[in-house]
Structure 1
Amino acid sequence: MKLAKKLVLAAVVVPLTLGTASAFAFGGKDHKKGGHGECGGGFDRSIMRKLDLTDAQKDQLKEMREAGKKEMKANFKDNFETRHAEMQAHKAKVQELVLADNFDQAQANELAKAMVEKQSERKVKMLEKQHQMLSILTPEQKAKFVELSQARADKCAEKMQERFANN
């Protein structure tokens, strides 16, 4: 086989092999395996289904989700070029840092702080939306939500302990 054919074959086979290996390592298509899914954190809609919501509450939640979806799509379309340019600039800075002959601790701290700041902004927005969604609950439903959330957290902690005990 000629060198050119071998290179083309390697260029096709290696990424496929590595991609498949990483997909299997992550748990394949089923993302609930390997500790993801119900113990993956975030807002658990299955708990909301157990709260005996009224039709009006269900409608309000649906409206909030749809409005959030529209807002996300609009933000994505409106700010795509700006965000993309910012991400590329950030990636370039990171790459420059890790490929430099000497590691610059100050620059690494600066990049890390910027990343934490962005993450904090996203987290605050997410918590605000959760607050809005939970504000439509009655005091009894809120108490049940806390109870179900705690049961879920306990179950996840048990799963985590089992996983660490088996390794």
Structure 2
Amino acid sequence: MKMAKKLVLAAVVLPLTLGTASAFAFGGKDHKKGGHGECGGGFDRGIMRQLDLTDAQKDQLKEMRESGKQQMKANFKENFETRQAEMQAHHAKVQALVLADNFDEAAANDLAKSMVEQQTERKVKMLEKQHQMLSVLTPEQKAKFTELQQERAGKCADKMQKRFADK
């Protein structure tokens, strides 16, 4: 592999691996958390407020959020040391890869694949939780939810088009 390709690949891998976590933790350029907010996609509680939920549905959703929060806290405390060690090992692999005299494309591919697998697992868990929360809705509320999401997506597309048209 030519040195230029190696440098380009290293220049892409390093910022992606190190910068992604900090960007999402900080909230990006406009301080919104990645994946949430008006145009970030994901599960929008603002739309849920517009669905005229019954008190029973509100209680169910609140219970789901609380149990999820408790489960996340317990999981965080329980696996903190293991997760910390895994993160340090991952960081060491990245550092070894990008600081090596010769770039190892196979190792970079393996590292990238493991990162994608972890991201996929997190995404599947998130979608499962969204499914559980949306299963509380009636068919009419689900239809209204879909309609409100499409309306929001249209507004976001217009906003993005204006943003890039100005540049």
TM-score (ref. length: structure 2): 0.79
Where in structure 1 do 4 or more consecutive aligned residues deviate above 6 Å?
none
- Aligned residue in 2 for 1:133: 133
Deviation at 1:26, TM superposition (A): 2.3
Distance 1:38 1:78 in 2: 33
Specify the code of the residue in structure 2 equivalent to 1:132: Q
Distance 2:38 2:84 in 1: 31
The number of equivalent residue pairs is 138
- Aligned residue in 1 for 2:66: 66
Deviation at 1:44, TM superposition (A): 0.5
TM-score (ref. length: structure 1): 0.79
Identical residues among aligned pairs (%): 80
- Aligned residue in 2 for 1:145: 145
Q: Does structure 1 retain, via aligned residues, the 8 Å contact 2:134–2:142?
A: yes
Deviation at 1:147, TM superposition (A): 0.3
Deviation at 1:103, TM superposition (A): 1.2
Distance 2:42 2:142 in 1: 17
Deviation at 1:37, TM superposition (A): 3.0
- Aligned residue in 2 for 1:46: 46
Q: Secondary structure at the match of 1:26?
A: coil
- Aligned residue in 2 for 1:83: 83
Bigger CA radius of gyration: 1
Distance 2:61 2:162 in 1: 36
73-82 or 99-108, which deviates more: 99-108
Deviation at 1:89, TM superposition (A): 0.1
Is 1:160 the counterpart of 2:160? The answer is yes
Distance 2:55 2:114 in 1: 43
Distance 1:70 1:37 in 2: 23
Distance 1:146 1:66 in 2: 25
Q: Deviations over 1:101-121 (max 9, x none)?
A: 111110010000000000000
Specify the code of the residue in structure 2 equivalent to 1:85: A
Distance 2:123 2:65 in 1: 17
| Alignment counterpart, residue 26 of structure 1, candidates 3, 8, 29 | 29
Distance 1:162 1:52 in 2: 33
Specify the code of the residue in structure 1 equivalent to 2:80: F
Distance 1:39 1:153 in 2: 7
Distance 1:96 1:153 in 2: 42
Q: Deviations over 1:34-78 (max 9, x none)?
A: xx7311222100000000000000000000000000000000000
Specify the code of the residue in structure 1 equivalent to 2:124: V
Specify the code of the residue in structure 2 equivalent to 1:51: L
Q: Deviations over 1:101-157 (max 9, x none)?
A: 111110010000000000000000000000000001000000000000011111111
Structure 2, unmatched stretches of 5+, are 1-25
